[in-house]
Structure 1
């Protein structure tokens, strides 16, 4: 079940950190931005009262950019991340949800019905622009 997050609990921070560059100072700055930038919103997906996935988005009218999504290691591959993204899009009444990713996660977005396009590489890593267009 979708739930907007009203605070950044350690549990939510740990899930979001799974999608961030593993530098503690950078992670702290990125997490803090969820409370200092008004266009950012946090959501969680709960199963039986337990948070299994969390996502942060930057909302701009009827469009949003997915900034981070993380799923608990024990529940990866069970569809909770996909359900979370589609529920966020419906909750916010979005026309489009976008994300940028790399080879490690592009198949997650394909399975989640995002359209995939190549983006400029960063260093030696391929990048992809992912877009979910909604009716």
Structure 2
């Protein structure tokens, strides 16, 4: 994993972020990683191709929030997402990590060991979930 901090967004990162947020918000979200000292974005690759990314916001010295996590569809299910979460927890020595997600990602977080709580229909027709994990 390497930190992504270029002022220009790499097309591969832009595509990955579009899986984790709406396409209209990708540039805005990316700029938050560049401008905010408590937000970090990391990319992971295979053979020079960026295939995954994870963005985190550190709230204090030991708590973090996953803002974005994405893996190319052809690489999903191979443990890359879990390894990115482990990397972030170790890199920042986190005690607690959380994420907000939709129904599509609930099983991923549950399988990792997150406690999942429904937030109800946060947007019209869209149920959202809070996922929380105590790092051991």
TM-score calculated relative to the size of structure 2: 0.87
Figure out how many residues of one structure are paired with residues of the other and give that number: 132
Structure 1 residue 94 displacement after superposition: 0.4
Task: Give the whole-Å Cα distance in 1 for the aligned partners of 2:85 and 2:119.
Answer: 21
Task: Give the whole-Å Cα distance in 2 for the aligned partners of 1:48 and 1:20.
Answer: 26
1:58 aligns with 2:49: no
Task: Give the whole-Å Cα distance in 2 for the aligned partners of 1:89 and 1:49.
Answer: 24
Task: Give the whole-Å Cα distance in 1 for the aligned partners of 2:115 and 2:22.
Answer: 24
User: Structure 1 stretches of 5 or more lacking a match?
Assistant: none
Superposition CA RMSD, Å? 1.6
User: Structure 2 stretches of 5 or more lacking a match?
Assistant: none
CA distance 1:6–1:35, change in 2 (3 Å):
closer
Task: Give the whole-Å Cα distance in 2 for the aligned partners of 1:6 and 1:32.
Answer: 10
Structure 1 residue 55 displacement after superposition: 0.8
TM-score calculated relative to the size of structure 1: 0.87
- Greater helix content: 2
1:96 aligns with 2:87: no
